[in-house]
Structures are given as structure tokens and as C-alpha cells.
Amino acid sequence: MYYLSDYHSPVGRLTLVGTGACIVGLRLAGQGGSHAETPPGFLVDDDQAVFVKGKKWLDRYFEGRRPSPDALTLAPDGNEFRQAVWRFLLEIPYGETTTYGALALKTAQFFDKRAMSAQAVGGAIGHNPIPIIIPCHRVIGAGGNLTGYSGPIDIKIRLLKHEGVDMRSIVSRLCIAD
């Protein structure tokens, strides 16, 4: 059985998805693709212990207290390749960014390959079912371009700013005023 619970955050409504024992998803308001679909049979249950813990984690995150994702029981569904990429996302420190290319190199090393496509890594990142907690927003394109985010790009910008990432060069590329 899967359960849902809404959380009202500074970046809009978030929907936690869980099994009762673990968090399997977090949906962003305005997120498209398969993340936007709610399969039949999901029950809304704000009292699930996993949601209470998840909401406390989100409270701490949005207060700037840098909670560790290790404090939560996460179970994103994906193949071995996606699971590896998502584990690497968890290693990106709060307030820092990395590139798709850097993650491709790390993934290639993990799978004992000479090279890995940054686009393949981007595809895995784009299918991250637990954004924010598994911080896909911390991945940027070469040269500081904000590309490949499955949610609304303004949420990625707000999360990076929230974490204290220096946005001057990125924001100027996007022509977005504060």
C-alpha cells in the first residue's frame, strides 16, 4: 500500500509518497512527467510515522539546519545504474554543486568503464523520485548552466539560493532578477 501526505514548503506544495516503512517519492508542485501522476489506490495519511519524520526533516532543511538524508529511510525505485547515480547525489555537500560530467566520470569509475555519457547520468538524475532529499538540484551543466531539472527551474534556483550557492554567474546567464 502506498500513502501520500502534503507538505507546504517555501517552494510550494510538496507531496511525500511512502509505503509506511519508507519514503519512495517526493513530488514538487508543477513537476511534470511521470512524477506528476498519482496511481490509483494511493491513500492520503498524514499520520504515517515516515511522513512525520520526513516533514521534520523538511522543516530542518528549510530552516537551513542541513539535515542528513541518512536520518530518513529512503527507498527510491530504480535499476542499478539509477541507484548508483542517486547515491552519488547524496554525496554532494549542502550548498555545493557538481556537474553532470563530473558525475559521469564517477559513475564510469563505479561501473569500471572508461567513460560514461553525461546525458545518461542526466537521465538517471531526471528520474530521481525523491528530489530535495536526494539533492538533484545541486547538479548543473558545464559552465554553470542550469539544465536538466525535472521540476520547475525556478524551484531549482530557489533551492540553490536557499543553500547559499553563489548564483551570480548562473543568474546572469538566465537573465533572472532577484
pTM tops 0.85: yes
CATH value at residue 50: 3.30.160.70
Single residue among 71, 105, 131 that ends a domain in this structure:
71
**136 included as an active-site residue:** yes
| Domain endpoint, select from 71, 89, 112 | 71
Mean pLDDT of 71-89: 97
- The active-site residue, picked from 136, 140, 157, 160, is 136
Beta strand 139-140 with 98-99 is parallel
Instruction: Please count the structural domains in the chain.
Output: 2
Nearest one of 97, 129, 147 to 16, comparing CA atoms: 129
Q: Where is the domain boundary, 13, 39, 71?
A: 71
CA 59 to chain centre: 16
Three-state SS at 48: coil
Structural domain boundaries enclosing 66: 3-71
- pLDDT tens digits along 27-76: 998 665 444 455 567 888 899 999 999 999 999 999 999 999 999 999 99
User: The domain that contains 91 carries what CATH number?
Assistant: 1.10.10.10
d(CA 126, CA 95) in angstroms, rounded, equals 20
Distance separating alpha carbons of residues 74 and 53, to the nearest angstrom: 12
Judge if 52 and 100 occupy the same domain. Answer: no
pLDDT tens digits, one per residue of 109-158: 999 999 999 999 999 999 999 999 999 999 998 888 887 667 788 899 99
163 and 95 housed in the same domain: yes
